[in-house]
Amino acid sequence: MALITPDKLKSSYDVIVVGSGAGGGQTAYTLTLEGIKVLMLEAGRNYVPETETPMFETPDQAPLRGAGTPDKPFGFHDSTIDGGWTVPGEPYTCANNERGRKFEWWRARMLGGRTNHWGRYSFRNGQYDFKPRTRDGLGFDWPMDYADLAPYYDKVEMLIGVYGENDGLENTPDSPPGVLLPAPKPRVGDLLFRKHAGRLGIPVVAAHRAVLTKRLDAGNLPARLHPGNPAAQRLVREAMEGRAACYWATECGRGCAIRATYQSTTVHLPPAMASGNLDLVTNAMVREVTTAPDGKASGVTFIDKTTGREHRAAGRVIVLAASSGETVRLMLNSKSARFPQGLANSSGLVGKYLMDTVGASFTGQIPALEDLPPHNEDGAGGAHVYAPWWQYQEQLAGKLGFARGYHIEIDGGRRLPGMRTAGGLEWVTGGSYGRKFKEDARRYYGSFMSFSGRGDMIPNEDSFCELDPAVKDKWGIPVLRFHWKWSEHEIRQAAHMQQTFADIVSAMGGKMRQPPEKDGAKAIANGGVIIHEVGGAIMGTDPAKSVTNQWSQTWDVPNLFLTDGAPFCSNADKNPTLTIMAQAWRAADHIVAELKKHNL
Amino acid sequence: MNTTPSRMDRRTALKWMLAAAASTALASRYAQGQGPAPAAQGYGTDPDLLKHYKPGDVWPLTFTDTQRRTAAALCDVIIPADDRSPAASAVGVVDFLDEWISAPYPAQVADRGIVLPGLAWIDAESSRRFGRVFAELDATQQAAICDDICHAATAKPEFREAARFFATYRDLTAGGFYTTPQGRQDLRYVGNMPLATFDGPPPEVLRKAGLM
């Protein structure tokens, strides 16, 4: 067991990784299985999904029937610990709190971070997504191509287990044969959606989600993942054997005690821990990255939250994977005579070009789904199908009035009843109560379908974060101040989502509570609300115009790497987690190679 | 059997409610809430998720006897017993409503400011129309009041605030009820159990939805 307290720190590590989520988990996994000695620092507490996950608890067993509160914003049984939109004692500020200008920041102070509760959507960025500027003249191109990352997407999908199908669709890459797990059968609402959206020209295909629809092939995958490394193969095989297939119950947001979904805590960290090459300190709030006289990073200082004491750790390489916001904050707080603007910030771009995903949603009531015979719709604890963006060519021809696309996620069905299951029915029932209300509740149960657009945001000059000049957290560390503004591209995209969803509801013969919102500025969720915060330390080819190179290695400090979403220089509509992991694996491979060559 | 003090209490309470209803618009009492917001603590950001909780376990319940009686009567008017499931009050919904309006969180404090004045209003309205509190009305009398406030979109102006209360109260009652084992059974929810395979919708479902 490599969970240690700060007094057990070794005098130096090959690599220090700050953060234990998708980026930090993948980085530590790759490094430790290659024999690199790693220290991981996590600001939250240790978390053990196998023993802490409420797999079958029902809302009536929770306070307030499990409804969300500021303590547990996504509901009582959501896995998030010590987090949400606010963290006690750890504020952040916004320069402007108006709708559309405000940034809302979701954090999770726990081992594994936000990977414990995420939606498990695992989409690859496509070719266009790496070269958006070349394609439409906006934003930034990545200093790499899809082909550079494709082998890492393959490896991550094989390691974590992703269900889905290969559909051969534009800018929606297929995976090689044998990589994806079988997609779960569509629910009845999925089939209706597919039938009617299909008539509108919208493709509805299997979602890609990191849930094991069958057990991983522990006999063959390890050798494909770690050729020539029998020790790594053995550790990965053992870890894969410890993961069960989904048993078709329990929302994935609770986390998964049987390790059927990807969480850093159930997939990345077990083999890393078992390697003996990982020391992990939890409750370790990193204050700054320290530097040596030669300008290289030398280690970090951190506060042990259990004692309030400050500690130092030394490493040859420092990897920040604390979430885009926290990584930026750490860099800006790591000021020295040599780095007066913060670490690796000679470009002045640390904190700039922060992005989230464009989000807008709409609900319809679908008469064809009323009064259905009872049947189990729990499924894979999340969506089985989705609609990838379908209008690439019309958009490129300038016919849509906005430059980037979105995909559609849906939700609905006869799921475990919660506080809202029979709530807000007045608009369809005309205000029934009594026996009539009970009949209405039965009739309408499972007949509502919600549509959520998830769209590409183009990085802009007005969306960034910086250190607040006055506000500090409870340890005296300056906090972030966010600035946010959507461009017309995102606002028009949100209006387009609304119209599309209304068209789909109409095509399904459904009812709408209100007409679609024509003003995208009213439909679009605030920045940060989709919890896809990326950017803030963008990668590029020019040290004056970017913070890192294509290896997520900072230009100014060659032994400082950023393996979370911070180096993203675009934010495709595809949910970012899979790309974070693929790029983290790629960056970690680069670290291994450079360490072997004594370049770091 | 009623004892003298409790009759006095009820009469006093009624007088107060009638006076309040006459002198103050319901809206302004909504804004003020009724009674101070609970000072209790929430469950914090790292509660035990495996523990099974019941109302009153984390913060104290605060309904008065009068409020509790009216709350029970109204939630049973909304969800009465029928051949498929019991009435709301029979499966603990009143305790849940009490838990909800006693909680220290902003949304629940706001609902407290709707529910408690609403319960007082409905007793006052019952007394004005029929000379008795809501719980003591017969079903026809209860329906006469509920029919006026059950649909906010079409309620007469003088009942609009009360209709907003009713909408909130119906949502809370339904939330409390359909999350119980009896409520899940009423909806014919099937799930929350491990399965070896997920087979998708059976043929009769596809037929009913027009998919085959």
Domain boundaries of chain A, sorted by first residue: 1-54+68-163+209-353+459-485+534-600, 172-206+358-455+487-523
pLDDT score, position B40: 81
Whether residue A187 and residue B200 make contact (CB cut-off 8 A), yes or no, is yes
B46 touches chain A (CB under 8 A): yes
Asked whether residue B74 is assigned to any structural domain, the reply reads: yes
Closest listed residue to residue A233, CA positions, set A215, A218, A212: A218
Q: Say what the pLDDT of residue A190 is.
A: 98
Chain A residues in contact with B87 by the CB 8 A cut-off are none
Q: Does B48 map to a domain?
A: no
Q: How far apart are CA A292 and CA A440, in angstroms?
A: 70
Hey, how many other C-beta atoms are within 10 angstroms of the C-beta on B132?
15
Does the distance separating the beta carbons of A60 and B205 come in below 8 Å? no
Q: What's residue B36's pLDDT?
A: 56
pLDDT at B17: 43
Could you tell me where the beta strands, DSSP code E, fall in A368-460? 385-387, 406-412, 448-455
**Among chain B residues, CA nearest to A423:** B171
Examine the pLDDT at B28 and tell me if it is beyond 80: no
CB contact under 8 A, B175 and A67: yes
Closest approach of A490 to chain B, Cα-based (Å): 31
Chain B residues closer than 8 Å to A184 by CB: 198, 200
- The count of CB pairs under 8 A between chains A and B is 220
Dist CA A532 CA A118 (whole Å): 10
Scan residues 249-268 of A and list those with Cβ closer than 8 Å to B: 249-250, 254
Q: How far is A439 from chain B (nearest CA, A)?
A: 9
| H-type alpha helices, A397-462 | 426-429, 435-444
Interchain contact, B209 vs A188, CB within 8 Å:
yes
Shortest CA distance from A62: residue in chain B = B53
Q: How far apart are the first and last CA of chain A?
A: 28
The answer to whether the Cβ–Cβ distance between A377 and B191 falls below 8 Å is: yes
Q: CB–CB of A431 and B201 under 8 A?
A: no
B18 Cβ contact list (under 8 Å, min separation 6):
B124, B127, B128
Name every chain A residue with its beta carbon within 8 A of the beta carbon of B195: 247-249, 376
* Residue A381 near chain B (CB below 8 Å): no
Å from B187 to nearest chain A CA? 5
B41 domain-assigned: no
Distance (Å) from the alpha carbon of A210 to chain B's nearest alpha carbon:
17
- Helix, strand and coil in chain A, % to nearest 5: 30, 20, 50
Q: Is the dihedral of CA A152, A156, A157, A158 positive or negative?
A: positive
User: What's the pLDDT tens digit per position in B79-119?
Assistant: 999 999 999 999 999 999 999 999 999 999 999 999 999 99
b/e A431-467 (16+ beta carbons within 10 angstroms → b): bbbbeebbebbbebbbbbbebbbbbbbbbbeebbbbb
A380 lies within 8 A of chain B by CB: yes
Q: A431: which chain B residues are within 8 Å (Cβ-Cβ)? A: 150-154
The predicted pLDDT at position B6 comes to 37
Interval B74-82 mean pLDDT: 98
In DSSP notation, A274-286 reads HTT-EEEESSEEE
Chain A contact probe: residue of B51, B96, B187, B206 with most A CBs at under 10 A: B187
A196 touches chain B (CB under 8 A): no
What is the CB-side half-sphere exposure of residue A42 using CA atoms within 13 A?
31
Interface of B with A in 109-148 (CB under 8 A): 143, 146
Q: Hey, which residues 200-219 in chain A have their CB within 8 Å of chain B?
A: none
Going by C-alpha positions, the residue among A107, A116, A48, A52 that lies closest to residue A83 is A107
Q: Which residues pair with A385 in a beta bridge?
A: A206
Which of A376, A427, A435 is opposite residue B80, by nearest beta carbon?
A435
Task: Say which residues have a Cβ less than 8 Å from residue B191's Cβ, sequence separation at least 6.
Answer: A249, A376, A377, A378, A414, A415, A416
What residues are paired with B209 via a beta bridge?
Answer: none
Give the residue from chain A lying closest to B196, CA to CA. A247
CB contact under 8 A, B198 and A61: no
In the predicted structure, residue B8 carries a pLDDT above the cut 50: no
In this structure, how many other beta carbons lie within 10 angstroms of the beta carbon of residue B65? Answer: 10
Q: Is A19 left (phi over 0), alpha (psi -120 to 50) or beta?
A: left
Helix (H, G, I), strand (E, B) or coil at A297: strand
The beta-carbon contacts of A84-89 under 8 Å, at least 24 apart in sequence, are: A84/A108, A84/B45, A87/B45, A88/B45, A89/A473, A89/A474
Least CB-CB distance to B170: which of A53, A79, A433?
A: A433
Question: If 0-12 CB within 10 Å is exposed, 13-18 middle and 19+ buried, where does residue B12 land?
Answer: exposed
Å between B86 CA and nearest CA of chain A: 11
Nearest-angstrom CA–CA distance, A582 and A179: 14
Tell me if the pTM is above 0.80.
yes
The answer, for A182 touching chain B at a CB cutoff of 8 Å, is no
Q: What is A1-54+68-163+209-353+459-485+534-600's CATH number?
A: 3.50.50.60
Q: Can you tell me the ipTM of this complex?
A: 0.95
Is residue B186 one of the residues assigned to a domain?
yes
**Three-class secondary structure of residue A575 per DSSP:** coil
Nearest chain B alpha carbon to A196: B211
A435 CB within 8 Å of a chain B CB? yes
Q: What is the pLDDT along chain A (600 residues), one digit of tens a residue?
A: 489 999 999 999 999 999 999 999 999 999 999 999 999 999 999 999 999 999 999 999 999 999 999 999 999 999 999 999 999 999 999 999 999 999 999 999 999 999 999 999 999 999 999 999 999 999 999 999 999 999 999 999 999 999 999 999 999 999 999 999 999 999 999 999 999 999 999 999 999 999 999 999 999 999 999 999 999 999 999 999 999 999 999 999 999 999 999 999 999 999 999 999 999 999 999 999 999 999 999 999 999 999 999 999 999 999 999 999 999 999 999 999 999 999 999 999 999 999 999 999 999 999 999 999 999 999 999 999 999 999 999 999 999 999 999 999 999 999 999 999 999 999 999 999 999 999 999 999 999 999 999 999 999 999 999 999 999 999 999 999 999 999 999 999 999 999 999 999 999 999 999 999 999 999 999 999 999 999 999 999 999 999 999 999 999 999 999 999 999 999 999 999 999 999 999 999 999 999 999 999
| Structural element, H or E, at residue A584 | helix A577-596
Is A89 an 8 Å CB contact of chain B?
no
Both structure tokens of A259: 């390790």
Cβ–Cβ gap B174/A441 under 8 Å: yes
The single-letter code of the amino acid at A480 is L
Write out the residue range of the structural domain in which residue B200 sits. Answer: 8-35+53-208
Chain A residues with CB inside 8 Å of B44's CB?
71
Sheet hosting strand A93-94, strand order edge to edge: A93-94, A478-483, A464-472
Distance of residue A208 Cα from the nearest chain B Cα, in angstroms: 17
Q: Round to whole Å and give the CA distance between B71 and B55.
A: 15
Backbone dihedral angles phi then psi of residue A163, each to the nearest 5 degrees: -90, 155
pLDDT of residue B35: 55
- Name the 3-class secondary structure at A146: helix
- Chain A CB within 8 Å of residue B174 CB: yes
Q: Cα–Cα distance between A20 and A322 in angstroms, integer?
A: 7
User: Is B154 in Cβ contact with A431 (below 8 Å)?
Assistant: yes
**Chain B residues near residue A247 by CB distance under 8 angstroms:** 194-196
What local confidence, expressed as pLDDT, does residue A510 receive? 98
Which chain B residue has its CA at the smallest distance from A44's CA?
Answer: B46
| A437 interfaces chain B, CB cutoff of 8 Å | yes
Tokens matching residue A148? 């550079």
Distance in Å from the first CA to the final CA of chain B: 62
Of B152, B183, B205, the CB nearest to A417: B183
Closest chain B residue by Cα to residue A426: B151
Output DSSP code: residue A173: P
- Residue in B79, B187, B200 closest to A437 by CB: B79
pLDDT tens per residue, range B161-201: 999 999 999 999 999 999 999 999 999 999 999 999 999 99
Q: Which residues of B touch A88 (CB under 8 A)?
A: 45
Say what the pLDDT of residue A2 is: 87
Instruction: Give A-chain residues touching B184 at CB under 8 angstroms.
Output: 58, 416-417
In chain B, residues with a C-beta closer than 8 Å to the C-beta of A430 are 151
DSSP letters spanning A81-130: -S-BS--TT---EES--STTT-B---B--BTTGGGGTS--B-----HHHH
φ/ψ of A467, rounded to 5, equals -75, 135
* Closest chain B residue to the Cα of A371, Cα to Cα: B208
Using the 8-state DSSP alphabet, how is residue A268 labeled?
I
Residue A223, exposed/middle/buried by CB under 10 A (0-12, 13-18, 19+)?
middle
